[in-house]
Amino acid sequence: MKYFLLILLTVFSQLFYAQSYERNYIGLAIGPSFAMSTFDNTTLSDSTSGFAKTGVGLVFNYSYRITHNFGVTAIINYSSNAFNDMVYADSLEQAHPDYNVSVLSDQNWSGGGILAGAFLSFPFSKNFSWDVRGAFGFYGFYSPRTTINASLKDDPNKKAEYFKQRASAFSYAYSVGTGFKYALSRYYILLFVDYFNSPLQFDNASGWDWDDQPYTTKFKQDVSTLEATVGLGYFF
């Protein structure tokens, strides 16, 4: 019986403590978006290689605190990562040593999603706390638009072009993250690191092949990014 009363006392104390704090929180943060796993891979023979470079990530979140240490959260994420033209061109030249190759992408890997989940908050002091959060939702993403030009080394007049149009894909996504909040009156300085992943299949990829003929294909790409962001939050 005494253990049951102790549990009730702990729960009610957490609820009472949460009442003395603002329950609603919004935050906006920006920082580098590091391509991870196959998204970062630059192996030409691996069809899942994304050749993605470090880009920029933007994270907006709304959180509602249920107790002092626990709450629910919604996250809107956007990231943009350039295609690594130089490395891709070098890989093509290594695979086809008789050709000079140049690659130009004028649009990035870009997109984002909406996710919902929960968070835990561990205060170190009145102004400083550590948060852990996880969320699940949906992602929409665009592939880069890329033009590949090749010319025969022994006969530079023999040229060809391969064009990849921008394609789109939608899939489920998840994120896990952790970070710190430091209070300045009703505002908070945010420092977070979040991992986002979405297994995407691009079904509408199209363009023109080496023979200047239109084509349509599909491919899979896991979009995985680690985003280290700094921003500002507001409690109300």
Tens-place pLDDT, residues 6-57: 454 444 444 444 445 578 999 999 999 999 999 999 999 999 999 999 999 9
Which band of pLDDT confidence, cut at 50, 70 and 90, is reported for residue 2?
low
pLDDT at 185: 86
Q: How many Å apart are CA 83 and CA 56, to the nearest integer?
A: 13
3-state secondary structure 82-134: CECHHHHHHHHHHHCCCEEEEEEECCCEEEEEEEEEEEEEEECCCCEEEEEEE
* Identity of the residue numbered 79: S
Ranges 4-8, 98-102, 146-150, 184-188: which has the least confidence: 4-8
Q: How many Å apart are CA 177 and CA 173, to the nearest integer?
A: 14
Q: In DSSP terms, which residues pair with 35 in a beta bridge?
A: 225
pLDDT at 17: 44
Quick check: 113 and 60 in contact, CB under 8 A?
Answer: no
What domains are there in the chain, each with its CATH number?
Answer: 23-116+129-221 (2.40.160)
Q: If we measure between CA atoms, which residue out of 35, 3, 6, 2 comes closest to residue 141?
A: 35
pTM: 0.87
Average pLDDT of span 87-114? 97
